Structure 1
Amino acid sequence: MPDRPVAMFAMTAENVPRIFPPDTLARLRELVDVDLSPVAGDFTDPAVRARLAGTEILITGWGCPVIDAGTLDAAPKLRAVLHAAGSVKGFLTPAVWERGIVVSSAAAANALPVAEYTLAMILLAGKDVFARRERLRAERTFPREEIPAGIGNFGRRVGIVGASRVGRRLIELLRPFDLSVSLADPYVDEAGAAALGVPSVPLDTLLGGSDIVTIHAPQTPETRHLIGRRRLALMPAGSVLINTSRGSLVDHQALVEALRAERISAILDVTDPEPLPADSPLYDLPNAYVTPHLAGSQGTEVARLGRTVLEEVERLLSGREPAFGVGLAELARTA
């Protein structure tokens, strides 16, 4: 019987049992010989490099060191890097693809809770939950006037910036609701948008015609401050900006100005910098709702990442292509 492939974890030690709970780890160990001493920090230690020599599958996650040509020189048998998290952009170098190594990411699995968080925020924002809670806390009684006519989610216009994995999943989640959804993405033409079931419009048009705008574009040099002062001014009075992508896509100084003018509201799970300085006005502005980068996989949700990697191992060993392969060409326009 031929030797089974050796798999090594490259992530912080505390993440291994979180991402690979006992049932998932047991199934993984039925398929491969698992090196249960995770590597984090770097791959330069001689003992680590000796272990790399026999490794065929590298299971990476949060805390993985950079994998460059020098690392690959120590891993001549390596044939796959399976990432149990989102983006591989920060730690994989082009040398990985140049040597024909298969790369897969659980980014699609990580996109699910982000889309769910965004769905929840859209529905809550449509009911004006955040502003009305602030008012209730201040006045300690229900307002005497009638509920404003603009409150509610029937016919609410939602604009999605970016048909990323999160953006696409969000479109699916929004289908059961009586919302008007549109998409702005320079890489999606009208036919592609029609396949997703939404109209494609230019970004400025989307901003000017949406009650709620939610950002799901990647962080690239081109998207830095994609939403700046001019584009914030296009948003209708009373509209809401949601960002679960990366903080740098929004010009925070311009956003603070718009929030202080009480033109719009914002729901931010990501900021620039992250975390915000203790004196940031975004903590105190009543129309800014900031959460600590929690939209992605948390708690029980991280086990979904391990399950995704397990399924990729099964495909790899059966000679099939990965379901969530990542190509070098994709990196330029992904997060």
Structure 2
Amino acid sequence: MPSAQLPRTVFAMDPVHVPRLFPDALLARLRRTAELDPTLVVRDFTDPAAADALAGADVLITGWGCPHLGADVLAAVPRLRAVLHAAGSVRSLVGDALWQHGVTVSSAVTGNAVPVAEYTLAMILLAGKDAFGHRERYRTTHAFPSPAQTAAIGNLGRRVGVVGASRVGRRLLELLRPHEFEVLLYDPYADAAEAAALGARAVSLEELLRGSDIVSLHAPDIPETHHMVDRTGLALIRDGGVLINTSRGALVDQDALTDELVSGRLSAVLDVTEPEPLPADSPLYTLPNVFLTPHIAGSLGNELERLGRIVVEELERLTQGLPPAHEVRHADLIRVA
């Protein structure tokens, strides 16, 4: 998109996100790269007040709260050449019409992977020390654990199973490297050589579930992964094992997982569930072997600026005639979120 004229650009998202994604200094950098009215944030592509700006727009900067981008959007934005998504997945956002029209699509999903992987690493380390269990026991006993009670804990040589060499999965594998874990990886698109390069050993899903002390899920939510960890799979995890899910609740059979957790056989760290949030009477809110958080692993607070920065960098690349660094291709959606 090299041009002497700055690309006409429009925000399309819930307006509440704009100042968090693009704080003042970053917004100033964006306005040096694009012709942009920062006060115009579109949530309805049929809004007459936005019609003129959309009719002349080359680029949409999208985010949470953006409507689906289908054929109607192409009618409203006939010059559209690029969609730069300041969030994660574009699977449900971008319709077939845009792909067929040849619109370039880029996503800040790589930036969103960073805090998810960091959160997951923290949970793995805490789970390996049984920190959550010891906290619960300490509340009631007010006493330090005996050597017998700590004999089975620790992270030295702990076997961690990572399900999915997604962007989050790969970032997590990178963060695991300095620690003395044995790491297993299941991903149907990653062979033994690629897994080894990532610091892991490639195994089947069954072998990973059966052989891991801690199982962490990082697969995309696509039809092929729906309930990929079902009742049979959960039964393979050893007694006392820990399941961590920071991906999507639909990867796990929620009823089967609840049964395992109520029984006390397994523990879990769940940042996502199915449904989300869980019903108010779910036992997972109060079980001592469940650490439940409200979908906080992804970018929040000051982490959102990282996503905005990726978008600004992408637009700078496009204006220089360079390919986007974080392009999403339609063909890739069969295996990514």
In structure 1, distance between residues paired with 2:92 and 2:20:
22
Counterpart position of 1:295: 297
Contact 2:221 2:251 in 1 (8 A): yes
In structure 1, distance between residues paired with 2:68 and 2:159:
42
Query: Where does 1:135-284 land on structure 2 (aligned, <5 Å)?
Result: 135-144=137-146, 146-284=148-286
Which of residues 64, 67, 80 in structure 2 aligns to 1:65? 67
In structure 2, distance between residues paired with 1:129 and 1:118:
14
In structure 1, distance between residues paired with 2:319 and 2:212:
47
Count of equivalent residues: 335
Query: Where does 1:92-111 land on structure 2 (aligned, <5 Å)?
Result: 92-111=94-113
In structure 2, distance between residues paired with 1:249 and 1:40:
33
* Matched position secondary structure for 1:35: strand
* Matched position secondary structure for 1:213: strand
In structure 2, distance between residues paired with 1:204 and 1:304:
36
Q: CA deviation at 1:74?
A: 1.8
In structure 2, distance between residues paired with 1:240 and 1:157:
11
Greater RCO, CA 8 A, separation 6+:
2
Q: CA deviation at 1:70?
A: 1.3
Q: Identify unmatched segments of 5+ residues in structure 2.
A: none
Q: Identify unmatched segments of 5+ residues in structure 1.
A: none
Contact 2:45 2:76 in 1 (8 A): no
* Matched position secondary structure for 1:253: helix
AA partner of residue 275 (structure 2)? P
* Matched position secondary structure for 1:4: coil
Residues 203-262 of structure 1 show CA distances to partners (whole Å, capped at 9, x for unaligned) of 000011000000000111121111111011100111100000000111111111111221
In structure 2, distance between residues paired with 1:101 and 1:145:
62
In structure 2, distance between residues paired with 1:183 and 1:96:
35
Contact 2:183 2:199 in 1 (8 A): no
AA partner of residue 17 (structure 2)? N
Q: Kindly, what percent of the aligned residue pairs are identical?
A: 59
In structure 2, distance between residues paired with 1:145 and 1:138:
18
Counterpart position of 2:88: 86
Contact 1:11 1:64 in 2 (8 A): yes
RMSD: 1.3
Normalising by structure 2, we get a TM-score of: 0.97
Query: Where does 1:36-75 land on structure 2 (aligned, <5 Å)?
Result: 36-75=38-77
Normalising by structure 1, we get a TM-score of: 0.97
Stretch deviating more after TM superposition (39-48 or 311-320): 39-48
Q: CA deviation at 1:144?
A: 4.2
Counterpart position of 1:121: 123
Contact 1:12 1:38 in 2 (8 A): no
